[in-house]
C-alpha cells in the first residue's frame, strides 16, 4: 500500500511537469500578439509594444520563455500578468471563491444525486422514478447558461429570493444559486448512475439470496446493494470535483463570481501565458489529488479491488 | 467485516459462463418487445432522418430555406407557413431548427462513437491487464481529465479556430474519451474478478476471447448508459462552447448556436429558446432511453 | 401599467432596505456608515492600471483625477483645473492652471506636476499605453528612438514656465489640440510621490480629482473611492463611488434590473430590450465613432470601387439599426458623424439603401465571381447579429450565392489575421474618436501613422495634406471646409463602407438620478443618489 502511494506521488509530480509544459506550448501556439490585442481598438504605439514584449520575454523563442517560467517557479515566483500583477496574488484572491462554489455544488451532487438515484431505483417505474427521469433529461438537455440565466431571472430578479450576482453576501446566500446551477448536470448524472447500478445489484443473485435468507430489506439495500452500487457514482464524483473546479467558468461569468474560472477564461482570451499555466496547473494538481483519494476509496468500497500487487 | 460480507460477490452460475450470456437472438427478441426501446428507436430514427434530409422536413410548411431572412419580421411570432415564427434576423425559425439537427446530432454522435471506441479498447486493456499498462493509461487519463475540459477545449479551439463540425468534434473527443475510459476501466476491474472469468482463464481461454466474449459484454453496460447520456451532453457542450464564442460558427446552423443567440432575447421572445431546447431535449431523451433499453438487453444479469 | 410600476417600486424599496440592513449587520461599522451616505456603484471591467497615462480605466481616472478641461455632451469646452489654454499659431500652446488646488495628499498641483507626468508617459522604456498622446509634441521622438535607449527623459516641447504655466510646442500645428487635452487621460498630472515607485503608486494612486482612494484597493471584487473634501472643482453630487467589477456586462444588466448595481454600459446585444427593461433610465450618447466594413483593397475581387459601392448600397441600414440595435445607433451617411465638430455628415453618395443601383453597379463591374464572400469579425464580442444581418442582406440584395460570416476568437487573432493579410473579405471596422474632431477620425483611418490605419489599409496623401491645412488654420469655418474637402476625396474612392455612427448606451438603476453620458463616458460628479 505504501509503495502504491509512493508510486502515485511520483507519477503526480511527472504529470505536473508534463501538464505545465503542455499548457505552455498550447498557450504559446495561440495566434497573434497578446500585447497588441490587449488594447482592443486602441492601438498601442510600436515602441510601447516592443518594450512590453521584451519585458515579458515574448520576443524570445519558446524554450527560453519556458525556461524563464520554470526558473521562476523554482524560486517560488509564478510570474505576472501583462499588467504586472503577480499570478500568485491573482490566484490567492480568486481560488477561495471557486473552491467554495465547487465544493458546495459537489456536496449538492453527492446528497441530491444519491438520494434521487436510490429513491428512483427503489420505486422503479413508478411516478417518482418517472419524475426524476424527466427532471434528469431536462437538466442534461438544457445548456448550463440557459439554466443559469433563467434561475437568475426568476429567483434573483423577479422573486428576489437570492442575490443576482456577486459574492457580497458571502456563503451560503451568494453561492447557493450558482452552486445549484453548477450541480444540476452532476445531480442528474449521479442519480442515473446510482439508479442503474442499484437496480442491477438489486436484481443480482446474491441480493436475492440475502433476501431469501430473510435479511431485512432495508439492511440488504444499505449494506450490500447500495455499497456495491456506489462504485460508478464514486468514480464519477471523484472525477467531477476536478470538473467542477475547472467548469465553473460559465457559472462564474453569469453570476459574476470572481473565481479562477473567470480569471482563466479572460487569461486564455488575452493569452496571458503565466496566468493560464498557473491556474491550470493548480486545477490539475487538485484533480490529481482528488483522484488519488478516489482510487484509495475503491479499495474500501469493494474489497475485491486491491492495490497490493499479486 | 460482517457475516453478510460473504454474500457480496455475485454468485453467478457455478456451471460456467456460457449460460449466463444469452444468445443473440434472445437479446434482440427482448429488445423488440420493449416499448421503451421502440419509443427510443423511433425518436432517434426520426431525428436522424431529420439530420440526414433536413430539406425534406423543412419544406413541410412551404418556407424551407433557413437563410431566407427579412429583418422586417425580426422576432415575430408564428404565422401561416411559419409555425415557429421568426428569429431576430427575421429567418424562419422552423426551417432553422430543422436544419440545426444535422450539425448538433453529427457532433453528438461523432464524439460519442469515437470516445466510446477509445474507451472500450483502452479501458478493457487497462482494466484487464492492469500493471504498467493500467498505470500509464491511468496517468494519461489523469492528465487529460485534470486538464479541465473547458480550459482544454478553449485553448485548442482558439488555437485552431475553424468552427467546423469536424474540429469541434475532434476537440470534444480529445477531452471526452477519458471519462468513458475511466468508467470502462473501473467496471472491467470488477468484472475481471468474477468467478466465470477466473474459471474461463483456468480452462485456457485466450485473453482476447475472454475480453471479447465475456469481459466487454459484462462491463459495457454502464458505458452504454453513459454513452447514451454523452450524446446529449456533447450536443449541450457544443452549445456551451458556442456560447463562449469558440464552438460552431455561423454560417453553420446548430441548436447550440440558436440557443446561444437566444440568450439575450429569450425574455421578450421565448420562442427563440423554446423550440431549439425542445428539439434538443427530445433528441437527448431518445438517446437516453435507447441507452437504457440497450443496457437491459446487453446485460446478462438483468432478467 | 402604472400600478404595476408602483408595486415594483415598493417591492424594490422593501428589498433594498432589507438588503441594506443585512449588509449593515453583517459587515460592521464601515458598511453601515456607507448605507447612510450617498454612495452609488458603477459596473466596470477590471481596471488595468490606475495611473492615467498607463491604461484604459477611464471611470477610475475620472473619479481620481481632474482634467484640465472638460468636454460636455454638446461639445463645449469648460475649464476645470485649467484657467485657460491659448495659442496664436496652433503650434505653441500656453496652458494656465488654477492655483490653490491640491492632490489628495495635500501637495499643490503645479505646472511641474503636469510636465513630469507627461514626460513619464511619453518616455519609451516606461511603455505606458497612452504614450501616443504626445506623438505630435516636440521631443517625443527623442524619448522613443527606433533603436536603443533614449538619451533624455524629457520632451523639449513641454516646459513649466512658472508654477501655473505650461508651455507646449507641437511638431505640426494642431487647432484640435485642446480637444485632445480635454479628453486624453495622458494629460492628467501626477504628484511627486508617483515618481518614487510607479508600480506602488499604480496600486493606490493619489490624484487631484473629486474622489480619492481609501487604502489600497483590492482589484478583485470592487473598488471604493470617497469624496475628497479638498476638491476645488465642481462638487460631486455623491459621497463616494463603488466600482463593481464584472467579467460580463450582461450580468450587470440583470443586476441593475434588481437595483444591485447602479450605472452600467449596456452590451450591444441588449440594446433592443433596454427601453422595455429600464424605461427612461438609459441614455444613448451619440459618440464620434464610426462602425464600418473594411475592405481588403489588395484583393483583386474588391479592387473596383463599384464593387465596394455596390456592397454599401445593398445594406439596409435603417432596418438593421431597428432590429439589431433597437434603433439606438444612427445609420452612417458619411465617414465623420454629426458628433464630429462641424461635420455635415451627408457626404456619402453610396451609403443609402438602393438594391437596384447596387445590382447595376456590381453588374457594371463584371459581377461577383469570387466564390463565397466572407465577412470577418472578432467573435464573442456581440458583433455576430450585426454581421449576420449584413451577410443576409448582401446575399439577398446582390444575388451573390454565398455570403457568410467568419468569426475569429477575439481581437488578438482578428488583428493578427488583418496584419498578416489573411482577411479575404469585408471585415469589421471601428474607430471611436478620442475627441470629436473630423481631423482625428480622418487622420486615424487614412494616414500612414494613424491609429486605425491597419483597419482600413488605405492611405491618401492628398487628404492628409488637406487635414494638415485644416489643423493649421485659426478659423473654425476654414478648418471645417478643409476637412470636408478631405473627406470627399476619400469617399470618391470608397475604400470603406460606412455603416453606423456608434452610441455609448448606458442605463442605471432606480437608486440614482442626474446620470449624464458623454465622451468621458460617465459624468460622475453630476450623479446624485436618491436618499
**B146: pLDDT confidence band, cut at 50, 70 and 90?**
low
- Cα of C293 to nearest chain B Cα, Å: 18
pLDDT tens digits for range B218-264: 888 788 877 877 887 788 788 888 888 788 887 889 888 898 888 88
The region of weakest confidence among A36-40, C125-129, C161-165, C303-307 is A36-40
> Which secondary structure element, helix H or strand E, spans residue B201, and what is its range?
helix B195-202
Give me the mean pLDDT over the C164-187 stretch. 95
pLDDT at A1: 66
Q: Is residue C27 part of a domain?
A: no
Q: Which long-range contacts (CB under 8 A, 24 or more apart) does A84-87 make?
A: A84/C199, A84/C202, A85/C219, A87/A274, A87/A275, A87/A278, A87/A279
Task: Judge if C230 and C339 occupy the same domain.
Answer: no
State CA B44 to chain mean position distance. 12
Which chain B residue is nearest to residue A268, measuring alpha carbons?
B155
pLDDT at B10: 28
Q: Is residue C281 part of a domain?
A: no
Question: What's the structural domain count of chain A?
Answer: 1
Angle (nearest 5°) at CA C275 between C274 and C278:
75
Cell of C209: 480629482
Chain B hits for C392, CB-CB cut-off 8 Å, are 67, 69, 71, 89, 91
pLDDT at B25: 56
Of A41, A44, A270, the CB nearest to C129: A44
What is the percentage of chain A residues whose pLDDT exceeds 70? Answer: 96
Query: CA separation (Å) from C46 to A136, C53, C55, C60, C278?
Result: 37, 17, 11, 10, 25
Cell of C506: 448606458
Q: Is residue C256 part of a domain?
A: no
**C81: pLDDT confidence band, cut at 50, 70 and 90?**
very high
Q: Which long-range contacts (CB under 8 A, 24 or more apart) does A159-162 make?
A: A160/C11, A160/C15, A160/C258
Range of the domain at C182: 46-245
Which chain A residue is nearest to residue B156, measuring alpha carbons?
A26
Give me the mean pLDDT over the A278-290 stretch. 80
pLDDT at C523: 94
Angle (nearest 5°) at CA B227 between B225 and B228:
65
Among A55, B110, B113, which residue's Cα sits nearest to residue A47? A55
Residue to mutate among B2, B3, B5, B8, with most A CBs inside 10 A, is B8
Residue B215 pLDDT > 60:
yes
Chain C hits for B75, CB-CB cut-off 8 Å, are 323
Give me the mean pLDDT over the A221-228 stretch. 74
CATH number at residue C336: 3.10.105.10
Q: Is residue A2 part of a domain?
A: no
CB interface of B with A, residues 210-239, below 8 Å: 221-222, 225-226, 229, 232-233, 235-236, 239
C410 interfaces chain A, CB cutoff of 8 Å: yes
The stretches of C262-316 forming alpha helices (DSSP H) are: 271-278, 305-313
Task: Judge if C440 and C307 occupy the same domain.
Answer: yes
B161/C408 touch (CB, cutoff 8 Å), yes or no:
yes
Give dist(CA A38, CA A291) in Å, integer: 37
Considering A62-76, A288-302, C59-73, the range whose residues carry the highest mean pLDDT is: C59-73
Task: Judge if C294 and C437 occupy the same domain.
Answer: yes
Tell me whether strands C528-529 and C240-245 are parallel, antiparallel or unpaired.
Answer: unpaired
Residue B166 pLDDT > 60:
yes
Which chain A residue is nearest to residue C16, measuring alpha carbons?
A160
pLDDT at B3: 27
**C10: pLDDT confidence band, cut at 50, 70 and 90?**
very low
Chain B hits for C267, CB-CB cut-off 8 Å, are 264
Range of the domain at A192: 96-258
Give me the mean pLDDT over the A286-297 stretch. 76
Give dist(CA C326, CA C318) in Å, integer: 10
Give me the mean pLDDT over the C261-277 stretch. 94
Q: Is residue C35 part of a domain?
A: no
Among C427, C398, C395, which residue's Cα sits nearest to residue C414? C427
C200 interfaces chain A, CB cutoff of 8 Å: no
Cell of C109: 498641483
Q: Is residue A35 part of a domain?
A: no
Residue to mutate among C271, C391, C392, with most B CBs inside 10 A, is C392
Of C11, C248, C254, the CB nearest to A153: C254
pLDDT at C242: 95
A164/C410 touch (CB, cutoff 8 Å), yes or no:
no
Task: Judge if C135 and C205 occupy the same domain.
Answer: yes
- Cα of A259 to nearest chain C Cα, Å: 9
pLDDT at C7: 39
Residue where a domain terminates, one of C245, C274, C302: C245
Task: Judge if C120 and C199 occupy the same domain.
Answer: yes
Task: Judge if C222 and C306 occupy the same domain.
Answer: no
The region of weakest confidence among B11-15, B122-126, B221-225, B233-237 is B11-15
Of A31, A258, A265, the CB nearest to C413: A31
Which chain A residue is nearest to residue B291, measuring alpha carbons?
A196
Q: How many residues does chain C have?
A: 531
Q: Is residue C516 part of a domain?
A: no
Q: Is residue C305 part of a domain?
A: yes
Largest CA distance in chain A: 85
**C34: pLDDT confidence band, cut at 50, 70 and 90?**
very low
Residue to mutate among B105, B149, B155, with most A CBs inside 10 A, is B155
| Sequence-distant (≥ 6) Cβ neighbours of residue C228 within 8 angstroms | C104, C209, C210, C211, C212
Residue A12 pLDDT > 80:
no
Give dist(CA C153, CA C123) in Å, integer: 6
Considering A124-128, A205-209, A277-281, C80-84, the range whose residues carry the highest mean pLDDT is: C80-84
CATH number at residue A163: 1.10.3720.10
Q: Is residue C409 part of a domain?
A: yes
Give dist(CA C531, CA B209) in Å, integer: 81
Q: Is residue C210 part of a domain?
A: yes
Residue to mutate among A22, A120, A146, A201, with most B CBs inside 10 A, is A146
pLDDT at C276: 93
Tell me whether strands C92-97 and C165-169 are parallel, antiparallel or unpaired.
Answer: antiparallel
pLDDT tens digits for range C37-65: 899 999 999 999 999 999 999 999 999 99
B284/A239 touch (CB, cutoff 8 Å), yes or no:
no
Q: Is residue A205 part of a domain?
A: yes
Residue A132 pLDDT > 70:
yes
pLDDT tens digits for range A66-103: 888 888 888 888 888 888 889 999 999 999 999 999 99
CB interface of B with A, residues 19-78, below 8 Å: none
Residue C32 pLDDT > 70:
no
pLDDT at C302: 94
pLDDT tens digits for range C476-525: 999 999 999 999 999 999 999 999 999 999 999 999 999 999 998 999 99
pLDDT tens digits for range A97-125: 999 999 999 999 999 999 999 999 888 88
Chain C hits for A255, CB-CB cut-off 8 Å, are 251
Among C211, C206, C226, C180, which residue's Cα sits nearest to residue C103? C206
Residue C84 pLDDT > 60:
yes
CATH number at residue C125: 3.40.190.10
> Which secondary structure element, helix H or strand E, spans residue B40, and what is its range?
helix B35-52
Tell me whether strands C92-97 and C158-162 are parallel, antiparallel or unpaired.
Answer: unpaired
Task: Judge if C87 and C196 occupy the same domain.
Answer: yes
Of A146, A250, A283, the CB nearest to B259: A146
Task: Judge if C421 and C309 occupy the same domain.
Answer: yes
Give the sign of the dihedral formed by CA C143, CA C147, CA C149, CA C150. Answer: negative
Give the sign of the dihedral formed by CA C61, CA C63, CA C67, CA C72. Answer: positive
pLDDT at C200: 94
Among A166, A169, A181, A165, which residue's Cα sits nearest to residue A102? A181
Give me the mean pLDDT over the A251-280 stretch. 88
Residue C83 pLDDT > 80:
yes
Of C202, C260, C416, the CB nearest to A33: C416
Q: What is the ipTM of this complex?
A: 0.83
B261/C385 touch (CB, cutoff 8 Å), yes or no:
yes
SS3 C70: strand
pLDDT tens digits for range C355-389: 999 999 999 999 898 789 999 998 878 898 999 99
- Cα of C297 to nearest chain A Cα, Å: 20
Q: Please tell me whether the overall predicted TM-score, pTM, comes out greater than 0.90 for this model.
A: no
Which chain A residue is nearest to residue C430, measuring alpha carbons?
A41
C404 interfaces chain B, CB cutoff of 8 Å: yes
Chain A hits for B288, CB-CB cut-off 8 Å, are 136-137, 140
Q: Please, which residues bridge with residue C162 across strands?
A: C165
pLDDT at B16: 33
Residue B129 pLDDT > 90:
no
Residue C4 pLDDT > 50:
no
Q: Is residue A247 part of a domain?
A: yes
Q: Is residue A73 part of a domain?
A: no
C522 interfaces chain B, CB cutoff of 8 Å: no
Question: What's the structural domain count of chain C?
Answer: 2
C385 interfaces chain A, CB cutoff of 8 Å: no
pLDDT at C23: 36
Give me the mean pLDDT over the C291-311 stretch. 94
B139/A14 touch (CB, cutoff 8 Å), yes or no:
yes
pLDDT at A305: 55
Give me the mean pLDDT over the B191-200 stretch. 79
Residue A15 pLDDT > 80:
no
Q: Is residue A28 part of a domain?
A: no
Chain C hits for A169, CB-CB cut-off 8 Å, are 22-23, 26
**A143: pLDDT confidence band, cut at 50, 70 and 90?**
confident
**B26: pLDDT confidence band, cut at 50, 70 and 90?**
low
Give me the mean pLDDT over the B115-140 stretch. 88
pLDDT tens digits for range C210-255: 999 998 898 889 999 999 999 999 999 999 999 999 988 989 999 9
C257/A157 touch (CB, cutoff 8 Å), yes or no:
yes
Give dist(CA A147, CA A255) in Å, integer: 12
Q: Is residue A131 part of a domain?
A: yes
Q: Is residue A149 part of a domain?
A: yes
Chain B hits for A199, CB-CB cut-off 8 Å, are 302
- Cα of A134 to nearest chain C Cα, Å: 29
SS3 A89: helix
Residue C35 pLDDT > 70:
no
Q: Which long-range contacts (CB under 8 A, 24 or more apart) does C354-360 make?
A: C354/C313, C355/C313, C355/C314, C355/C397, C355/C398, C357/C313, C358/C309, C358/C310, C358/C311, C358/C312, C358/C313, C358/C314, C358/C397, C358/C398, C359/C310, C359/C314, C359/C397, C359/C398, C359/C399
Q: Are B43 and B283 in contact (CB under 8 A)?
A: yes
A47/C258 touch (CB, cutoff 8 Å), yes or no:
no
Amino acid at each position: 500500500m505504501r509503495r502504491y502511494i509512493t508510486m502515485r506521488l511520483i507519477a503526480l509530480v511527472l504529470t505536473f511537469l508534463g501538464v505545465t509544459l503542455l499548457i505552455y506550448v498550447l498557450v504559446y501556439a495561440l495566434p497573434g500578439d497578446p500585447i497588441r490585442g490587449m488594447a482592443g481598438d486602441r492601438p498601442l504605439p510600436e515602441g510601447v509594444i516592443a518594450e512590453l514584449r521584451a519585458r515579458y520575454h515574448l520576443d524570445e523563442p519558446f524554450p527560453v520563455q519556458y525556461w524563464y517560467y520554470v526558473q521562476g517557479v523554482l524560486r517560488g515566483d509564478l510570474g505576472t500578468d501583462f499588467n504586472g500583477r503577480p499570478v500568485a496574488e491573482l490566484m490567492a484572491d480568486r481560488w477561495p471563491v471557486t473552491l467554495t462554489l465547487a465544493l458546495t455544488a459537489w456536496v449538492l451532487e453527492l446528497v441530491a444525486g444519491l438520494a434521487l438515484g436510490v429513491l428512483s431505483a427503489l420505486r422503479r417505474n413508478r411516478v417518482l422514478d418517472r419524475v426524476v427521469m424527466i427532471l434528469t433529461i431536462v437538466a442534461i438537455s438544457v445548456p448550463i447558461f440557459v439554466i443559469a440565466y433563467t434561475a437568475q431571472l426568476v429567483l434573483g430578479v423577479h422573486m428576489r429570493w437570492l442575490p443576482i450576482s456577486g459574492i457580497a453576501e458571502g456563503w451560503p446566500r451568494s453561492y447557493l444559486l450558482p452552486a445549484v446551477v453548477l450541480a444540476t448536470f452532476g445531480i442528474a448524472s449521479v442519480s442515473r448512475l446510482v439508479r442503474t447500478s442499484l437496480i442491477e445489484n438489486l436484481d443480482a443473485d446474491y441480493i436475492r439470496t440475502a433476501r431469501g435468507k430473510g435479511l431485512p430489506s432495508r439492511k440488504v439495500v444499505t449494506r450490500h446493494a447500495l455499497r456495491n452500487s456506489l462504485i460508478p457514482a464514486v468514480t464519477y464524483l471523484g472525477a467531477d470535483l476536478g470538473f467542477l473546479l475547472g467548469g465553473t467558468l460559465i457559472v462564474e461569468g453569469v453570476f459574476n463570481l470572481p473565481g479562477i474560472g473567470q480569471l482563466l477564461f479572460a487569461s486564455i482570451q488575452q493569452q496571458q501565458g503565466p496566468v493560464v499555466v498557473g491556474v491550470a496547473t493548480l486545477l490539475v494538481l487538485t484533480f490529481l489529488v482528488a483522484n488519488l483519494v478516489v482510487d484509495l476509496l475503491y479499495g474500501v468500497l469493494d474489497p475485491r479491488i486491491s492495490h497490493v500487487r499479486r | 467485516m460482517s457475516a453478510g460480507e460473504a454474500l457480496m460477490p455475485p454468485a453467478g452460475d457455478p456451471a460456467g459462463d456460457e449460460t449466463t450470456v444469452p444468445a443473440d437472438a434472445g437479446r434482440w427478441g427482448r429488445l423488440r418487445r420493449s416499448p421503451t426501446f421502440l419509443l427510443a428507436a423511433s425518436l432517434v430514427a426520426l431525428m436522424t432522418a431529420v439530420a440526414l434530409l433536413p430539406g425534406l422536413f423543412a419544406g413541410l410548411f412551404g418556407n424551407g430555406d433557413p437563410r431566407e431572412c427579412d429583418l422586417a419580421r425580426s422576432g415575430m411570432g408564428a404565422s401561416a407557413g411559419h409555425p415557429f415564427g421568426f428569429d431576430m434576423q427575421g429567418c424562419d425559425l422552423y426551417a432553422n431548427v430543422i436544419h440545426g439537427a444535422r450539425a448538433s446530432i453529427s457532433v453528438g454522435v461523432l464524439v460519442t462513437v469515437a470516445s466510446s471506441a477509445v474507451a472500450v479498447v483502452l479501458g478493457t486493456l487497462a482494466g484487464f491487464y492492469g500493471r504498467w499498462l493500467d498505470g500509464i493509461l491511468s496517468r494519461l487519463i489523469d492528465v487529460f481529465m485534470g486538464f479541465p475540459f473547458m480550459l482544454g477545449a478553449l485553448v485548442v479551439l482558439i488555437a485552431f479556430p475553424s468552427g467546423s463540425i469536424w474540429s469541434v468534434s475532434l476537440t470534444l473527443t480529445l477531452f471526452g474519451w477519458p471519462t468513458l475510459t475511466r468508467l470502462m476501466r473501473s467496471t472491467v476491474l470488477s468484472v475481471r474478478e468474477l468467478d466465470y472469468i477466473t474459471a474461463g482463464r483456468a480452462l485456457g481461454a485466450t485473453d482476447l476471447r475472454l475480453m471479447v466474449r465475456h469481459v466487454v459484454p459484462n462491463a459495457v453496460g454502464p458505458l452504454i448508459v453513459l454513452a447514451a447520456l454523452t450524446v446529449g451532453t456533447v450536443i449541450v457542450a457544443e452549445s456551451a462552447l458556442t456560447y463562449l464564442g469558440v464552438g460552431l460558427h455561423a454560417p453553420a446552423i446548430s441548436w447550440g448556436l440558436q440557443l446561444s443567440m437566444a440568450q439575450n432575447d429569450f425574455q421578450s421572445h421565448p420562442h427563440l429558446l423554446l423550440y431549439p431546447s425542445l428539439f434538443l431535449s427530445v433528441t437527448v431523451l431518445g438517446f437516453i432511453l435507447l441507452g437504457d433499453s440497450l443496457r437491459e438487453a446487453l446485460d446478462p444479469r438483468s432478467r | 401599467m402604472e400600478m404595476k410600476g408602483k408595486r415594483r417600486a415598493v417591492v424594490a424599496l422593501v428589498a433594498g432596505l432589507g438588503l441594506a440592513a443585512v449588509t449593515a449587520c453583517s459587515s460592521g461599522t464601515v458598511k453601515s456608515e456607507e448605507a447612510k451616505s450617498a454612495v452609488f456603484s458603477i459596473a466596470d471591467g477590471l481596471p488595468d492600471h490606475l495611473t492615467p497615462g498607463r491604461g484604459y480605466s477611464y471611470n477610475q481616472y475620472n473619479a481620481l483625477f481632474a482634467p484640465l478641461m472638460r468636454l460636455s455632451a454638446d461639445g463645449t469646452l469648460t475649464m476645470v483645473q485649467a484657467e485657460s489654454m491659448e495659442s496664436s499659431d496652433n503650434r505653441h500652446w500656453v496652458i494656465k492652471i488654477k492655483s490653490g488646488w491640491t492632490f489628495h495628499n495635500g501637495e499643490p498641483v503645479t505646472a511641474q506636476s503636469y510636465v513630469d507626468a507627461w514626460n513619464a508617459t511619453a518616455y519609451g522604456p516606461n511603455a505606458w499605453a497612452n504614450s501616443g498622446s504626445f506623438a505630435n509634441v516636440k521631443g517625443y521622438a527623442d524619448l522613443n528612438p527606433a533603436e536603443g535607449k533614449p538619451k533624455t527623459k524629457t520632451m523639449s516641447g513641454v516646459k513649466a514656465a512658472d508654477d501655473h504655466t505650461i508651455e507646449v510646442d507641437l511638431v505640426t500645428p494642431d487647432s484640435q489640440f485642446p480637444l485632445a487635452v480635454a479628453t486624453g487621460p495622458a494629460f492628467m498630472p501626477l504628484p511627486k510621490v508617483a515618481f518614487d515607485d510607479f508600480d506602488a503608486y499604480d496600486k493606490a494612486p493619489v490624484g487631484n480629482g473629486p474622489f480619492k482612494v481609501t487604502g489600497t484597493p483590492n482589484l478583485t471584487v470592487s473598488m471604493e473611492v470617497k469624496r475628497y473634501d479638498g476638491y476645488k472643482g465642481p462638487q460631486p453630487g455623491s459621497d463616494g463611488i463603488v466600482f463593481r467589477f464584472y467579467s460580463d456586462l450582461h450580468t450587470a444588466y440583470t443586476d441593475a434590473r434588481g437595483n444591485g448595481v447602479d450605472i452600467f454600459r449596456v452590451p450591444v446585444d441588449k440594446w433592443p430590450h433596454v427601453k422595455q427593461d429600464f424605461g427612461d433610465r438609459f441614455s444613448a450618447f451619440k459618440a464620434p465613432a464610426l462602425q464600418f466594413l473594411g475592405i481588403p483593397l489588395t484583393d483583386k475581387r474588391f479592387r473596383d470601387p463599384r464593387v465596394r459601392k455596390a456592397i454599401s448600397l445593398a445594406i439596409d441600414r435603417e432596418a438593421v439599426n431597428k432590429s439589431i440595435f433597437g434603433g439606438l445607433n444612427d445609420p452612417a451617411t458619411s465617414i465623420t458623424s454629426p458628433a464630429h465638430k462641424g461635420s455635415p455628415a451627408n457626404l456619402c453618395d453610396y451609403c443609402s439603401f438602393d438594391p437596384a443601383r447596387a445590382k447595376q453597379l456590381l453588374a457594371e463591374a463584371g459581377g461577383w465571381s469570387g466564390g463565397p464572400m466572407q465577412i470577418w469579425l472578432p467573435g464573442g464580442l456581440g458583433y455576430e447579429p450585426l454581421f449576420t444581418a449584413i451577410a443576409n442582406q448582401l446575399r439577398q440584395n446582390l444575388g451573390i450565392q454565398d455570403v457568410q460570416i467568419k468569426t475569429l476568437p477575439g481581437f488578438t487573432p482578428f488583428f493578427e489575421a488583418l496584419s498578416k493579410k489573411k482577411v479575404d473579405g469585408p471585415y469589421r471596422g471601428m474607430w471611436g474618436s478620442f475627441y470629436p474632431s473630423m481631423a482625428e477620425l480622418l487622420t486615424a483611418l487614412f494616414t500612414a501613422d494613424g491609429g486605425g490605419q491597419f483597419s482600413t489599409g488605405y492611405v491618401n496623401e492628398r487628404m492628409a495634406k488637406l487635414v494638415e491645412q485644416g489643423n493649421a488654420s485659426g478659423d473654425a469655418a476654414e478648418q471645417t471646409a478643409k476637412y470636408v474637402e478631405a473627406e470627399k476625396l476619400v469617399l470618391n474612392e470608397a475604400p470603406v463602407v460606412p455603416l453606423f455612427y456608434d452610441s455609448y448606451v448606458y442605463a442605471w438603476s432606480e437608486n440614482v438620478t442626474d446620470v449624464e453620458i458623454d465622451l468621458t463616458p460617465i459624468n460622475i460628479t453630476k450623479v446624485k443618489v436618491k436618499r
